[in-house]
Structure 1
Amino acid sequence: MSRLTSWWDALSGPVKFRLYTRVTIQVAVLSAVAGGLSVSARGPWLTVGLVVAGVAAIVALEVQPDFAGRSRARWRRRALPAAGAALAGVWLAFALVARLADSDLISTQASIVSVFAAALGMLSVVAFLRHKWWTVLGISVVTGVVFGSSPFAGLAVAAVTFVIGSFVVATTLVTVWGVRVVDELDRAKGVEAELQVAEERLRFARDLHDIVGRGFSAIAVKSELAVVLSRSGQAERAAVEMDEIKTLAVESMGQMRKLVRGYRGIDLMGEVGGARSLLSAVGCRLVVEGDAAKVPARFHEVAAWAVREGTTNIVEHSAATSAILTLGNAGMSLRNDCPHGTPGERSGLRGLGERLAAIGATLDVAASPEQFALEIHWEKK
């Protein structure tokens, strides 16, 4: 059971929905076959006709790209025409039986099986054709002509077949539309996450430009002034300007280091808010337990780095739907479900461990098929 649940948890949302949809339709087909057997089957040939039509419909649905997703092209090229031919064969065979039978009971049962095969064909094959509604109309007219004992009876049969066919085709189209909407939402989530990353990069580039541009501009201007003063014999003023140039260079380098290390200082509350936003964008709900105020002040920065690295780890190495961040005075933890395999040697976690070791904190990683957890303990004094 644990393997089954792990396999299910590892699937993405769209794949789960597609699998659920496919199984639901196939169960509906099997239920229809079982109902047809209980109502109309009074002989082995009727049973065979209903079973063949049901199996052909299931095969046709199994290889439809909208439901099957990654079905192999060679298998689809062979299976779909074979399933369509089987459904058409059942319809034609039982249409002939209905026309040639001497018994009214046999004729009626054969008619039911033939119409049943036509309905399954509309559900599993016709609904995915380009000119589906004209095909439904054509099948309905032909069915009315074949099974109608009189013009009025034929019109009635054609009308019933068209209504049934239109219903099953419309149902299939709505189902396919739902699958595609889920796929589009999943793609939109991915695009939103990428846009947030791009926005962060732009913010970093803008901050870097502001720091470097302002500092270098000031250095360039003061360097020109120092050159002019030196050439004009004002050595003292030139020395003052050069000292200021040195100060500006040191300040700019310090600001750049601070920017690279933490985007002008890294804030724990800001990282928690950013983590919630980023995880929400990829379909993961973050629950925060505890209070950032309980984290000792000297560990705020490293805790913020842990939140940032843990969030990146969830986005890149899991299909998590929920995560729990716990903050306290003795340590913190970040747990998420649906990890992708074992953690292995990840440079981000290694860097986080080195950063923690520098201040006397420890990092423990716990991984299982169901959960991935980062446990961090502060230095005990």
Structure 2
Amino acid sequence: MSRWTSWWHELSAAAKFRLYTGATFQFALAVVIVVMAITVRSPWAATGVVLAGIAAVLAVEVRADFAVTSLLASRRWVQVVAVATLVGVWIACAVAAGLSGDATTDARMRLTGIYVVMLIVFSVVSLIEYKWWILLALSLVTGLAFGTSPATVLGGVLLTFVAGALVVATTLLTLWGIRMVDELEHAKVVEAELQVAEERLRFARDLHDVVGRGFSAIAVKSELATALSRSGASDRAAAEMDEVRSLAVESMGQMRELVRGYRGIDLTSEVAGARSLLAAVDCRLAVEGDPAAVPARFHEVAAWVVREGTTNIVEHSAATAATLALGAAGMSLRNNRPRGTPGQQSGLRGLAERLAAVGASLEVLSSPDRFGLEIRWEKS
């Protein structure tokens, strides 16, 4: 029992619904066959109904949409045999009704023939193309084959077409339900893939922001230590290398926190770190305003602005002065002496995504002698 329950639980929701629909469809077909066999009131006619019913079940089982098992799925020869059997039983009923001189036998054969036509519509016609035209042709042939007068021919045509139309409509609704469930399952898969892609982009952006500043600081301080060492200021060079080591350890810790997904960032610490990093490249940072003036829900993104903006100043300018302004309405970070414009790898696109996620906006101001980031906490 546990094997069967585990098999059921391993199926997707769409596969469960498809299996349930196929089983229900075939159960309904079996019930119809039993009722038909009882109502014809003749052993020979009942035998024909049962034979046609078995063929109808096989024809349905071949269809992937209604198959309960995969044993007969897509085996065309089974469908050919099933259709040939259904047509053969129908022809036998038409011949028997035409040759029999007994009115009771004729009526039973006509009823059996109409039943077989319904089984053909149920298991074959409703599942193929041009179903409505085929149903109309089948209704005309059935009326002509079993009718004994113009009135009975017309009645047989109308009865067959109306009953067949109900069967086709029911089958189409069932197929529509299966398609809808399949589309929902596909949408879930696509949504999951999009979430994975979005998370990868977020991780790449965070990795760039975290590692970018650390590596920039390490590169700058390493160059400074090299220059100091060559000039004979070994003590200052050693101090700079100690800071390089501290930055490397700090970057490693941030990397671990990033991987674990628990990384935090503090605005006040980022402002202090920006001042220290820019001072190492002979750039004076003037801070206007107080980090406490920034609305609490924007503190984290403001810290990312300071981090990314500072990294851009180091990598994309020869700045000697920069100004950081913090306020309740927004913030800005400007520097002089830009060197070209930051490209796609500067992280500004990721920064814009961060700001948009919290309802803020980013404007980049660029000129030959100035570069700045203007942020507004609420989009106008």
TM-score by length of 1: 0.63
Q: Secondary structure at the match of 2:201?
A: helix
2:25 is the alignment partner of 1:25? yes
Q: Give, in whole Å, the separation in 2 of the partners of 1:113 and 1:224.
A: 97
Q: Give, in whole Å, the separation in 2 of the partners of 1:38 and 1:77.
A: 31
CA drift of 1:240 comes to 4.2
Q: Secondary structure at the match of 2:248?
A: helix
Partner of 1:349: none
CA drift of 1:264 comes to 2.1
Q: Which amino acid aligns with 1:40?
A: V
CA drift of 1:195 comes to 3.0
Q: How does 1:362-377 map to 2 (within 5 A)?
A: none
Using a 3 Å threshold, how does the CA distance of structure 1 residues 236 and 6 change in structure 2: closer, same or farther?
A: closer
Q: Give, in whole Å, the separation in 2 of the partners of 1:123 and 1:206.
A: 57
Partner of 2:360: none
Partner of 2:97: 98
The structure, 1 or 2, with the larger RCO (C-alpha pairs under 8 Å, 6+ apart) is: 1
Partner of 1:77: 76
2:109 is the alignment partner of 1:110? yes
Partner of 2:130: 131
Q: Give, in whole Å, the separation in 1 of the partners of 2:37 and 2:251.
A: 83
Q: Which amino acid aligns with 1:18?
A: R
2:42 is the alignment partner of 1:47? no
Deviation digits for residues 243-290 of structure 1, max 9, x if unmatched?
A: 33232222112211232344527xxxxxxxxxxxxxxxxxxxxxxxxx
Deviation digits for residues 327-356 of structure 1, max 9, x if unmatched?
A: xxxxxxxxxxxxxxxxxxxxxxxxxxxxxx
Q: Secondary structure at the match of 1:66?
A: coil
Structure having the higher Rg = 2
Deviation digits for residues 29-76 of structure 1, max 9, x if unmatched?
A: 22222222222222x211111101111111111111112276357872
Partner of 2:251: 252
Q: Secondary structure at the match of 1:182?
A: helix
CA drift of 1:234 comes to 5.4
Which stretch of the first structure deviates more once superposed, 80-89 or 256-265?
Answer: 256-265
Partner of 1:241: 240
Q: Secondary structure at the match of 1:68?
A: coil
CA drift of 1:202 comes to 2.7
CA drift of 1:11 comes to 3.4
Deviation digits for residues 1-23 of structure 1, max 9, x if unmatched?
A: 65554544443322322222222
CA drift of 1:149 comes to 2.1
CA drift of 1:231 comes to 4.8
Deviation digits for residues 128-153 of structure 1, max 9, x if unmatched?
A: 21211111111011111212223333
Q: Which amino acid aligns with 1:221?
A: V
Partner of 1:164: 163
The Cα RMSD (Å) is 2.5
Using a 3 Å threshold, how does the CA distance of structure 1 residues 75 and 230 change in structure 2: closer, same or farther?
A: closer
Q: Give, in whole Å, the separation in 1 of the partners of 2:34 and 2:99.
A: 26
Q: Which amino acid aligns with 2:263?
A: R
Contact kept in structure 1, 2:93 and 2:113, CA below 8 Å = yes
Q: Which amino acid aligns with 2:46?
A: T
Structure 1 runs not aligned, ≥5 long: 266-381
Q: Give, in whole Å, the separation in 2 of the partners of 1:242 and 1:189.
A: 52
Partner of 1:57: 56
Which stretch of the first structure deviates more once superposed, 3-12 or 17-26?
Answer: 3-12
TM-score by length of 2: 0.63
Contact kept in structure 2, 1:204 and 1:263, CA below 8 Å = no
Using a 3 Å threshold, how does the CA distance of structure 1 residues 74 and 33 change in structure 2: closer, same or farther?
A: closer
Partner of 1:141: 140
Q: Give, in whole Å, the separation in 1 of the partners of 2:11 and 2:253.
A: 46
CA drift of 1:185 comes to 2.1
Q: Give, in whole Å, the separation in 1 of the partners of 2:2 and 2:69.
A: 25
Deviation digits for residues 60-95 of structure 1, max 9, x if unmatched?
A: 111111122763578722211111111111111101
Partner of 2:178: 179
CA drift of 1:156 comes to 2.2
Q: Secondary structure at the match of 2:66?
A: helix
The number of equivalent residue pairs is 264
> What percent identity do the matched residue pairs reach?
55
Contact kept in structure 2, 1:14 and 1:186, CA below 8 Å = yes
Contact kept in structure 1, 2:211 and 2:251, CA below 8 Å = yes
Partner of 2:270: none
Using a 3 Å threshold, how does the CA distance of structure 1 residues 7 and 104 change in structure 2: closer, same or farther?
A: same
Contact kept in structure 2, 1:37 and 1:47, CA below 8 Å = yes
2:84 is the alignment partner of 1:121? no
Partner of 1:206: 205
Q: Which amino acid aligns with 1:66?
A: D
CA drift of 1:186 comes to 2.3
CA drift of 1:111 comes to 0.8
Q: How does 1:291-310 map to 2 (within 5 A)?
A: none
Q: Which amino acid aligns with 2:131?
A: K
Contact kept in structure 2, 1:98 and 1:110, CA below 8 Å = yes
Q: How does 1:207-222 map to 2 (within 5 A)?
A: 207-222=206-221
Q: Which amino acid aligns with 2:173?
A: V
Q: Which amino acid aligns with 1:32?
A: V
Deviation digits for residues 103-132 of structure 1, max 9, x if unmatched?
A: 121111111111111111111111121211
